[in-house]
Amino acid sequence: MGVSGRGALLACLLLAAAGAAAGPGEDRFREANDLVRSGDYPKAIGIYGELARSGAESATLYWNWAQAATARGAHGESLWALLRARELDPGDRAVARDVERLREALNLDKAEVAPEPLAVASRFARRYRLDLVALVLLALSLAAHGAGRLRIAPRASLRIASVALVLAIAAAAVPLAGSFARPTAAVVRRGAPLLDAASPSADATGTLREGEVVPVLETSGDWLRVEDNAGARGWVHQADVRRLDKAPEPPPRG
């Protein structure tokens, strides 16, 4: 078996493995879509959540989740699902349009759904895969530098190496800057209280707006310490907000 034959076999094996992994997930996804069409939104959302927690996260999954949540009247949850879809696929224009539309419907200011400017850099880097671009340019600059040292078109090689290195550093700077953005969460419950301590018996110091995105300052058990758009800091129960920086967690027990 030649090199091409071995490559084809490997590709087939990978495809088969991917198909086996995606099969049950696809079935559950279609089942959830049928439930949405039949009007059973809570059950459909339950299946979407189950898929997301199992690692089958995608912009498509969250798009459908958002549609079901909207139909159910849960606009905060819908906005969260769309924002999560945008995190996964920043280039999805339909998602971006619906995020904007829902933001206006919820009467939220732009700053209230984008409290972290560095997160924009992070999304920009993900959209254009600047991390991979930076790695390719780094490899190119090293290769060109090596060729120059080996006197293979030395002048052109060294010039290419220099330019590629500068571009690689510039490209890598964007995702690296984005990595300094604080994690955020979207408020999914209308009138979610902002408490002065991580306890259900704590005093409420304010109320969060449904759909508002808040930076997460720290976590403690089922509680998240957040900062609202007005700068007020307090604790909110994790059932009232959904994280945007990671997949949903299983619902709290009890």
Partner 1 sequence: MRRLAGAALLLLAASAARAELTLRSEVDAHKIGVQDKLQLTITVEGSGAPDEIPPPPLVNLDVVAGPFQSSQISIVNGRMSRSFTLSYVLQPRAVGKAEIGAVQAGGQSTAPIAIEVVAGAIRPKEPQRQDPFGRDPFGDPFEDVFGARRRTRSETLRVQMEAQPSRSRLHVGEPLVLTYWLYTQAAVADLQFKEAPQYAGFWVEDLEREKLSPSGEPATLEGQSYRRFPILRKLLFPTRAGTLTIPASVFRIGIQRTGFFDAGGSIERPTKPVTITVDSLPDAPGFSGAVGRFKATASLDRDTVPLGEAATLRFRVEGTGNLKWVDRAPELLVSGAKVFPPQSKSDLRTTENGVSGSRSWEFVVVPETSGAIEIKPMAFSYFDAGAGRIVSSETSPLTLKVEGGTAAAGAPAAPGLSAAARATGALPLRSELDFHASWTPGARLLTSLVALALVLHAGLWGLAARSGGSYRSGGAAPSRSVRAALRELERVAREPMTKEQAAALVEKALDEAVGGIKDADDSERARAIRALLDDVRFVRYAPQLGDYSEKVKDLAARAAEAVRRWA
- Chain residues that interact with partner 1, rule: CB under 8 A: 18, 22, 25-26, 29-30, 33, 36-37, 42, 51, 56-61, 63-64, 67-77, 88-89, 94, 97-98, 101-102, 104-106, 126, 129, 131-132, 134-135, 138-139, 141-142, 145-146, 149, 151, 154-155, 161, 165, 168-169, 172, 175-176, 179, 188-191, 239
Choice between 25 and 183, CB closer to partner 1: 25
Instruction: Give the strand order in the sheet containing 204-207.
Output: 204-207, 193-195, 233-237, 223-227, 213-220, 184-187, 241-243
Q: How far is CA 195 from CA 199, 203, 213, 222, 229, in A?
A: 8, 6, 17, 13, 15
* Contact between 190 and 210 (Cβ < 8 Å): yes
The whole-angstrom separation of Cα 157 and Cα 142 is 10
* Contact between 48 and 65 (Cβ < 8 Å): yes
Choice between 70 and 184, CB closer to partner 1: 70
For the bound state, the minimum distance from the C-beta of residue 64 to partner 1, rounded and expressed in Å, comes to 5
Choice between 72 and 233, CB closer to partner 1: 72
For the bound state, the minimum distance from the C-beta of residue 1 to partner 1, rounded and expressed in Å, comes to 27
Cβ atoms within 10 Å, residue 54: 12
For the bound state, the minimum distance from the C-beta of residue 146 to partner 1, rounded and expressed in Å, comes to 6
Beta-strand pair 241-243/193-195: unpaired
For the bound state, the minimum distance from the C-beta of residue 72 to partner 1, rounded and expressed in Å, comes to 6
For the bound state, the minimum distance from the C-beta of residue 114 to partner 1, rounded and expressed in Å, comes to 19
Choice between 16 and 139, CB closer to partner 1: 139
Choice between 142 and 233, CB closer to partner 1: 142
* DSSP characters over 222-237: TEEEEE-TTS-EEEEE
The whole-angstrom separation of Cα 83 and Cα 186 is 9
